[in-house]
Amino acid sequence: MKVIHVDMDQFFAAVEQRDNPELKGKPIAVGHDAERGVVSTASYEARRFGVHSAQSIQVAKRLCPQLIIVEPHFQRYKEVSAQLHKIFHDYTDLIEPISLDEAFLDVTINKKGIELGVDIAKEIKQRIFETTGLTASAGVSYCKFLAKIASDWRKPDGLTVIHPDRALDFISQLKVEKIWGVGQKTAEKMHFMGIFTGADLRSQSQQRLTEVFGKMGQVFYNFARGIDNRPVISEWERKSVSCEQTFEKDISDQSAAIIELYHTVLELERRIAKNEFEGRTLTLKIKFQDFQQITRSITVEHILHTKDDILPLAKQLLRQIEFHSHPIRLLGLGVSNQRGETEDEKTRWIELELEFEDWPDSQL
C-alpha cells in the first residue's frame, strides 16, 4: 500500500494571514479572546514564544505580549478544505479526512498512473500552493502510522518518505511522544518503565504492554515494529453525535448547571436531527475546575430523538455528580449506540469534529 498523509501548515492561522496581509509575519493566535478562550492554531511566529494549540489564550498572551488574537472564520476554512479535497480526488477516491486540514490518501492505484507516491505528493503540494496560496506538508509511506509521522517531520512545507527498508531504523530513533496514540500521561507511564524511544518500546513484550496499556498495548507493540494494517477508509459510519461547551466561569450552582444542561440538550437535539442519527445511549461528559474529567452514561430501549427524550436522562446523569464543592468547567452530551453495535462501542465516548460555525459558544 502507498499512503500519503497531507497536513496543512498552521492552517487556520495561515488562512487568516493570507486573507489579511497586515497579519503576515506577525505572531497571531486563532481563538476566542475570553477568560476561558483556547488557542485553536498559532502562527509559526507565535510558536517561537511557546504559544501552541489547545493552550489558554491568557497563558498565550503572557508568553507573547505582542500576540494578536484573531476570531476564527470557520466558513472560510471549510471552503479551503473543499478546494483541497477537489485536488485530492484528481489522484484517488480513497481519501480519509482526519480534520478540515489533513487527510490520508491511498494512492496504491491512482488515477494518473504515477508510479511513485513521492511524485504524487510533490504534485499535490504544488497544486495546493497554486490554488490556495498556502503550504502543506506531506508524508509518504506504506502505512498510515508512518505516513502521519512523516508529514510532521519537516514542517513547514515539508515532504518526507519512509521506505519499508528503513522503517525499523526510523522508528528505533523515534521518541515515544511522537508515536500515534501516546499522550502526555501515556508517555509519563512509558518513561517510568524506561521506554523513551521506539527501540525501547520494541524491547517490551506484547504481554507486558497489554498488561499496562490494555488494548492500546497491542497497538504500541505493532507500531514499534512498523505494523499498521488499517486501511484508508473513504466512507465511515457515524458512531455518535455530541456537543460540548466550556464555560466562562466555573459552575457550582445547581440551577445554573440545569440551565446550561438544557441549552446543551437543545444543541444536541439539533445535531441529531441534522445527521438523522439514531442512538440509545446518552453520555454526559464533565470536566472540573482542576481539569479532571469524568463521563456517565445511560442506555435505554427507545431512540433518543428529542429534548423530551434526552433532558430527563441528562438530569438523571447530572444528579450522579457532586459539583457543589468541585465546580464544572466544561459540560458535554453525546448520543451513541446504534442497533447492532458491540458492547465496546456502546460505552465509548467518541468526540467528533464539531461544526463550530453553528456552535459559537465553544471555546476553541
Question: What are the φ/ψ torsions at residue 350 (nearest 5 degrees)?
Answer: -110, 115
Rg (CA), the chain: 22
Burial 136-174 (b: 16+ CB within 10 A, else e): bbbbbbbbbbbbbbbbebeeeebbbbbeeeebeebbeeb
Q: Is 250 labelled as part of a ligand binding site?
A: no
Output DSSP code: residue 225. T
> CA–CA separation, 147 vs 237, rounded Å?
24
> CA–CA separation, 114 vs 100, rounded Å?
26
All cell numbers assigned to 317: 446523569
> CA–CA separation, 140 vs 120, rounded Å?
10
Residue 212 near residue 192, CB atoms below 8 Å: no
All cell numbers assigned to 65: 505580549
Please confirm whether the linkage preceding 156 is cis (ω < 30° from 0). yes
Q: Which residues are catalytic?
A: 102
The secondary structure element, H or E, covering residue 259 is: helix 254-275
Give the angle subtended at the CA of 190 by the CAs of 184 and 191, to the nearest 5°. Answer: 90
**Across the beta sheet with 293-299, what order do the strands follow?**
240-251, 328-336, 281-288, 293-299
By DSSP bridging, strand 281-288 and strand 328-336 are antiparallel
Q: Is 101 labelled as part of a ligand binding site?
A: yes
Which residues line the annotated binding site for Mg(2+)? 7, 101
Please state the residue numbers annotated as binding site.
7, 101
